[in-house]
Amino acid sequence: MEIERLSPPYEIELHRDGGKLVQVVIRAVGGDGNLSYEELREATRSILDRVRHEHISAMQRRTTASPPRSVKAMVLEYNDGNHGVTARYLASLSVAYEDLAPQGRAVSTKLAGALGIPVTTLKGHLVRAREDGYLTKAVQGREGGEATEKAHEVLNRG
């Protein structure tokens, strides 16, 4: 069992077993040995902030570790087309882009990394996808856009 201690005016012990939080102890340190309401509230807030940060970090690691199905499909289309810019690749790129866009920053970087190509090359593919009608226009200066009906039709043809 691992014990992590946080400091005065109170001591917080976070007991973990196998990486899982199993017990939390808040203890007064110094002074009269009592915890005021404010100190107890501050201690619980500190615990919640720490656990929230750990939870968010774990969620981000899981998201990064396992790309969405649409990204895997995009990579397959790119490889099946011998790394060429085919209609099916542009359509699958548009769907993958739409799926990753809500996650925020660096969508182009993530997609380029999945394909093993430079970001500038991927951005050229996105321009082509927009020009060919597979991806809607983005707000100027920002990433974004949605896969069009045309993109879905191309992918549904099999």
Label residues 99-121 b or e (16+ Cβ within 10 Å = b).
Answer: bbeeeeeebbebbbebbeeeeee
Q: What is the distance between the alpha carbons of residues 70 and 96, in angstroms, rounded to a whole number?
A: 5
Q: Please tell me the total count of domains within the chain.
A: 2
Question: Does residue 83 sit in the same domain as residue 146?
Answer: yes
| Residue 25, strand partner residues | 13
Lowest pLDDT segment from 36-50, 60-74, 121-135: 60-74
- Find the domain containing 19 and state its range: 2-62
Mean residue pLDDT of the chain comes to: 84
Question: Does residue 81 sit in the same domain as residue 129?
Answer: yes
Question: Does residue 54 sit in the same domain as residue 91?
Answer: no
pLDDT tens-digit readout, 101-111: 877 778 888 89
Question: Does residue 48 sit in the same domain as residue 75?
Answer: no
Say if residues 72 and 105 touch (Cβ distance below 8 Å). Answer: no
Report pTM. Answer: 0.58
